[in-house]
Structure formats: structure tokens, C-alpha cells
Amino acid sequence: MSARPRPRPRPVAKLKQRTTTNDRTDDPPTTSTLTADEDAQFMRNRGRTAAQWKQLHQLTRNSTPVHADDDDDSEQSSHASSSPPRRLKRKKHNDQPRWQTVDVAQLQKNLLSSDGDSSDVEIIESILDTQVAGESSPNKRKRQRSRSRSITPPPALSDHQLANAKYLVRQALAVEPRAPSPTFLPDDSFDNIVLNPELAKIVEEVKKQAAQQKVDAEQTGGPEMVTLKVNWIPHPLNVAAPKPTWTREMKRHDAFRVLFEETADLASILVDHLVVTYDGKRVFPSGTPHSLRIWTEGELEACDKNTYEYMRTRRLQRSHSPPSQDDASEDEASSDDHSHTESDAESSGGDKLKLVFRSTVADDVTLTVRPTTTCGAIVKAFLKTAGLPDIYSDAPSKGKGSKMIPYPQLKIDGDKQASNAEIGEADLEDGDLVEVVGI
């Protein structure tokens, strides 16, 4: 058997041969060998020093920064030792996979509204396409300007707008009218109820008392309707103020509350500031004409609270103050006047009358007069006796150019008497009350 020729061995690379023939255990660094081989391919500039090369590298880093756009360039720049360090790439705002940028709520809504699998794929692709197009558009890259909420309140609605809205709501809801109120069912009569003898006796007594009180109220009270006259009294210092009179009819047992309210409205004051008097006594809203013993007609006086307090204070001061010399002289003068009038009356003949004169600004004054005495002379005597000044236009002491003030008059049974009228024409008796108005 012939010997088979031995195959020729393949040529081995010198680098590998060097490594295999080398008896040392540690391998030489491959990076330095590759660097030396690469540097051997370029021509070195021997005229520059290390400091100049360092300065050039520094200028290159500052002037032209290297941006790695592709993966291959980034790998080559990392292996090159002479290139400057690569800057980190800025992370984009929406640097996420496309499948994470899909709106889950919108996707679910579209999936539920879709019919088949093919429509689902189309919906996903359309959503992705719209999002990519929105991100790539230049207008979307800019952030929208934030706008604060407005604090200006909305304009108020007018009355007719509110009325129209209410009408439309009622029309839309068609609210049914309220059901009629149930009819009143009277209580069962007690005729069929049998009470104990004691309870039956008590019921009879109560019925008798109620019937007796009703009869007494009807018999002793007078007519059902009463006519009342309310005279307004202004402040004594306000001479030019009007003095109106109001007339009103009311039931006998009704309270004066309605009368007070109407009088306050006519006088343009508050009800709390109104004071009403009857025969010099104050009347309150809870009173009735029956409580004042008014038969068919009555006359009340109304004034303001300040006026009432002023007149009341003057009366108290006049009652507590001792009579002065002036008052005594005036009393003497009045007595002289009375003596003259009485002498004149006696010469003509007639009886004497003792009358009581009342006014709103002074106390009651009692004077003795003749039936032939004129009302003007009686008013002058009343002013002197009450201590009131005679500042009226009919007085004989008035001068020219002075302000005309009407002279007070006597009022008998609601009628004012003239100044030249005789007091005997009024058919008065001793002790009758005569009012002096206009002071």
C-alpha cells in the first residue's frame, strides 16, 4: 500500500504566528497596536509641539460640536481617541413608542362602535396617522399660551327675560292647577250626646251668661256705627301750619288701630309718633268707641308726640309756677274788663253765665259772662286769664306792616262763632264747655 501524500499546510498570518511562537503568557494590548497601525497611515507634522496640538483640539471642540445622527457615526466617534467627547442627545418631549401614544379612551370608544376586525385595524392606523401628523406640524410644536379664568361675573338677566323663562318652564312642565280645598264639614251636634247632670247644668249656665252679655252690649252701647272727627293739632310754635279735620265712620266695638294708621298716613308721620286724645285723655290703638262712651258722634284730637310732650310740659310748668305780678295785673285788668262788661250787661239787663273755656295750649279757665257779651271780648279775657300773649291781627294794638295772624274764635257744638256775635245766641247754660280754637 502506497503512502498518501501529506497535504500542504495553509499559510498562517504573521500576527497569529507571532502570538503562537511567543512564549509569554500575557497577551499584548491590541488597541495600542491598532492605533499605531492607523497612525502610520497618515503623515505627521513634526513642526508643531504638544501645546499647539492641544490648543487646536480645544478650538475644534468649542467651534464645531459633533452631533451623532446615525448609529455608525456614533460607534466610530467612540473608538476614535482624538475626537472630542460626544454631547448627549436631547430627549424629545414625546420620545415614546407609537403604540404608547394612542389615546386609550378614544380607542375603546372606536372599538366599541366598530363592527369587525378590519375596521379596528383601520381605526388604529388612522389614530396613529393623525397623531404623527399633529406632532410633525410646526404649529403644534409651539406651546399654546395659557389663559387664566375670567373673574368678571356674567351680566344680570332682566325681569322680562326671567318672566319669559319661567313661562317657558311652566309651559314645558305643564303644571296642573292646585286641587280645590276640601269642603268644610261642620262638627257633629251635641244634641244627641247625653251629659252628666252636673255637666249639663254648667253648659246651661254658660249659655245664659253668653246671651246676657250679648244683650247688655247691644242695649247699653248705642248704635252700631259711630262717626268720629279727628282734628289735627300742629305745634304751637308753628303758627302757619294747617289744621285739617278728618271724618271717619267705624263700628262701635272695633279697635282704633285702623283709625290710627289712616290718620298717620294723612299726617305723613309714623304710627308710633301719633298721639290721639279724647277730652284731654290719651287714647290708645286698642281702645274702642264703646270704651270711651261715645254714642253716635265723637271728636278726637291728634298731634305729633313732640307736640304732645311740649304742651304737657307747659301745663305742668304753669300749674307748679306761682302767680307773678304781671299775671296779677292782667287778672286785675281782666276783672276790670269784666266789671265794665257786666255793668254794661246789667244796664241792659240779663242773667250771668258761668262757662268753662278749654284750649289745647292752656288749662281750663272758668269765666262769668253776660248773654250780651261778644265772643271777641270773651276771647280777650280768656287770653289774659290764661297768660297767653295777644299777638293776633284783630287786636287793637297791632301796627302797620305787621304779619296778619287770624284771631282765635269760640267753638260751640262744632260751629265757630264770629267775634261780634253775642254768647247768648248759643243757648248755653251754667257749666257748659266752650272750646277756644285758633291759638
Report H helices in 152-299: 159-173, 197-221, 257-267
Say if residue 342 is in the same domain as residue 407.
Answer: yes
Using the 3D structure, point to which of 275, 302, 318 is the last residue of a domain.
318
Q: Which amino acid is at 412?
A: I
Higher pLDDT, 88 or 13: 13
One domain for residues 344 and 301 = no
pLDDT at 333 over 70: no
Q: CA-to-CA distance for 164 and 148, rounded, in angstroms? A: 34
My answer on whether 232 and 252 are in the same domain is yes
Residue linked to cell 279727628 = 230
- What is the chain's mean pLDDT, rounded? 72
The reported pLDDT for the residue numbered 341 is 43
Task: Pick 345 or 168 by higher pLDDT.
Answer: 168
CATH number at residue 389: 3.10.20.90
Percent of the chain clearing pLDDT 70 (strictly above): 56
Mean pLDDT to the nearest integer, 157-164: 86
Residue 144, domain member (yes or no):
no
- Examine residue 36 and state whether it is found in any structural domain, yes or no: no
Residue 262, in any domain of the structure? yes
- Does 352 reside within a domain? yes
Give backbone dihedrals phi and psi of 357, rounded to 5 degrees, phi first: -105, 130
Residue 220 near residue 291 (C-beta atoms within 8 A)? no
Is residue 93 scored above 90 in pLDDT?
A: no
CB 106 within 8 A of CB 123: no
Q: Given a cut of 70, is residue 187 above it in pLDDT?
A: no
The model's pLDDT over 62-76, given as tens digits with 9 standing for 90+, comes to: 875 555 454 455 555
| Domain-ending residue, one of 318, 350, 379 | 318
| 244 assigned to some structural domain | yes
- Cα separations in angstroms, 281 against 62, 309, 312, 318: 114, 13, 12, 19
What does DSSP assign to residue 122?
H
What is the C-alpha end-to-end distance of the chain, expressed in Å? 181
Res. 215 pLDDT band, cuts 50 70 90: low
Q: Are residues 311 and 326 in the same domain?
A: no
- Say which DSSP state 47 is in: T
Structural domain count, the chain: 2
Q: Output the pLDDT for position 433.
A: 83
The grid cell for 275 is: 298721639
Contact 368/337 with Cβ under 8 angstroms? no
CB burial string 123-138: b at 16+ within 10 A, e below: bbeebeeeeeeeeeee
Model confidence pLDDT, tens digit, residues 354-377: 888 888 877 888 888 888 888 888
DSSP string spanning 48-91? S-HHHHHHHHHHHHHHS-----SHHHHHHHHH-SSSPPPPPPPP
Whether 305 and 329 share a structural domain: no
Are residues 304 and 388 part of one domain?
A: no
Evaluate whether residue 126 is within a structural domain. Answer: no
Residue 288 and residue 235 in one domain: yes
Q: How many residues does the chain have?
A: 439
Residues 233, 296 share a domain? yes
Least confident of 36-45, 168-177, 308-317: 36-45
Q: Retrieve residue 192's grid coordinates.
A: 244627641
Pair (301, 356) in one structural domain: no
Q: What is the mean pLDDT of residues 168-187?
A: 72
Mean pLDDT lowest among 54-68, 192-206, 395-409: 395-409
228 DSSP β-pair partners: 248, 298
Distance CA 435, CA 279 (A): 11
CA distances from 52 to 78, 80, 83, 163 (A): 24, 20, 16, 92
pLDDT > 90 fraction of the chain, expressed in percent and rounded: 10
Q: How confident is the model at residue 436 (pLDDT cuts 50, 70, 90)?
A: confident
Give me the half-sphere count of Cα atoms (radius 13 Å) on the Cβ side of residue 405: 17
- What is the identity of the amino acid at 249? E
Strands 353-358 and 433-437: parallel
Domain boundary pick from 297, 318, 339: 318
Residues 270, 296, single domain; the answer is yes
Residue 427 located in a structural domain: yes
Distances (CA, A) of 417 to 329, 354, 368, 413, 422: 29, 18, 18, 10, 9
pLDDT tens-digit profile of 304-321?
998 999 888 888 877 655
Domain that holds residue 377: 322-437
Least confident stretch, 9-13, 92-96, 315-319, 375-379: 92-96
Q: Does the pLDDT of residue 258 top 80, yes or no?
A: yes
142 grid coordinates: 409651539
Reading the block at residue 291, the C-alpha cell is 270704651
CA dist 79 to 84, 87, 357, Å?
Answer: 11, 15, 137
Q: Which of 148-152, 288-292, 348-352 has the lowest mean pLDDT?
A: 348-352
Give yes or no: residues 264 and 333 share one domain: no
**426 part of a folded domain:** yes
Same-domain status, 343 and 432: yes
Q: Per-residue confidence at 276, pLDDT binned at 50, 70, 90?
A: very high
| The C-alpha cell that represents 327 in the structure block | 299775671
292 close to 283: Cβ distance less than 8 angstroms: yes
